[in-house]
Amino acid sequence: GTQGLALLPWLQQTEKLLIMDAIDFGMAPGSLAMFRDEQVPAYLTAKKLSLHQTSFSEVLALLQLTGGQLSEIVLIGVQPECLDDYGGSLTPQVKAQLMPAVYLAQEVLAQWGITASSAALPTERLNHYSLCMERYEDERPDAQSACRVGDIRVLQREKS
């Protein structure tokens, strides 16, 4: 959404970009894929209702339109199992690909002359407790309390 647009100033000063995300490739859930340079989609789409619908592909297209030029771009992604479970966590198939994705990223960084190393601090100290996966999964409301497919206020239709 609009958060991606805030990255433009930094992307305009970047030569090489490594992106890691859950991506809908249309492949089997848990599939790990890597795309480079022209294979990474950068396009603008029509019929947006708001800037909150801005995808990262559109941010990359805007980067090109504003004169930004990456010498290299790599996208490492895992195919999610479910695309419409808003607020959902990672499924076992996707979680199983986290370390293989990290290893791929380390290979890319090594090709760029960057050596990856372990964090100096223990992982639990890198973010606030409120952001940890265990708390997120343990405290997620059930489907009856929190709609999984969008905002129920928008999804409800008036009966005529």
CA dihedral 59, 61, 65, 71 (to 10 degrees): 100
Q: What is the CATH number of domain 2-120?
A: 3.40.50.1450
Q: How confident is the model at residue 40 (pLDDT cuts 50, 70, 90)?
A: confident
Q: Is the pLDDT of residue 142 over 50?
A: yes
Q: Is the pLDDT of residue 65 over 50?
A: yes
Q: Does the global pTM surpass 0.95?
A: no
pLDDT tens column, 124-133? 556 677 677 7
Indicate the domain borders of the chain.
2-120
